[in-house]
């Protein structure tokens, strides 16, 4: 079981923020949870809305770059980029790396409801993956 997990994405405003929010609820006691991006741009308001719908308040989370993360503590990095894995930021050092290819809901276009549905789809996939990650890591 990792001691510290970093959810990493290009912007740290959407997918990694959702993952951090769910992980703070689902991670076993003692596991530190962080999110960061290589180009942080703030917490997306659509993200806040769909996470609130799911019962997770991420309003106090901040969009952070890697310089704000205690990198020496991290032993698991999960990248959440929807593009090919080679476009996601890499993390040097002896860490276990996982890649979850999740499309960026910020690219959604259409009515407010269509955009929200795109964010909800990403949220639900992230929630399932976070749950599976911590459940499977705990099984013998």
Range of the domain at 69: 4-138
Q: Report DSSP state, residue 106.
A: G
Task: Give the model's confidence band at 121: pLDDT under 50 very low, under 70 low, under 90 confident, else very high.
Answer: very high
pLDDT at 108: 92
- Helical spans, DSSP H, in the chain: 15-26, 45-53, 112-138
Query: How many domains does the structure of the chain reveal?
Result: 1
pLDDT at 88: 62
Whether residue 14 lies in the annotated active site: no
pLDDT at 140: 42
Q: Residues 81, 102, 116, 130: which is the catalytic one?
A: 81
For 64-101, b/e burial (b = at least 16 CB within 10 A) is bebeebebeebbbbbbbbbeeeeebeebeeebeeeebe
Look up the CATH number of the domain holding residue 19.
Answer: 3.40.50.2300
Q: Report the range of poorest mean pLDDT among 8-12, 69-73, 126-130.
A: 8-12
CB distance 68 to 84 below 8 Å: no
pLDDT at 39: 77
The pTM score is 0.89
Q: Residues 5, 36, 50, 88: which is the catalytic one?
A: 88
Tens-digit pLDDT profile for residues 44-86: 899 999 999 999 999 888 888 888 899 888 999 998 876 655 5
Q: Residues 4, 5, 8, 9: which is the catalytic one?
A: 9
Backbone angles phi and psi of 62, in degrees to 5:
-120, 145
């Amino acid at each position: 079981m990792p001691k510290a997990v970093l959810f990493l994405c290009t912007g740290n405003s959407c997918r990694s923020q959702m993952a951090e929010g769910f992980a703070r609820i689902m991670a076993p006691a003692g596991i530190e949870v962080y999110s960061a991006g290589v180009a942080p741009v703030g917490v997306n308001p659509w993200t806040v809305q769909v996470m609130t719908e799911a019962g997770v308040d991420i309003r106090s989370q901040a969009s952070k770059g890697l310089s704000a993360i205690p990198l020496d503590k991290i032993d698991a990095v999960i990248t959440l980029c929807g593009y090919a894995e080679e476009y996601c930021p890499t993390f040097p050092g002896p860490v276990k790396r996982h890649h979850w290819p999740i499309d960026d809901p910020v690219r959604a276009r259409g009515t407010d409801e269509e955009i929200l549905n795109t964010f909800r789809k990403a949220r639900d996939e992230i929630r399932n993956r976070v749950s599976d990650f911590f459940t499977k890591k705990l099984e013998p």
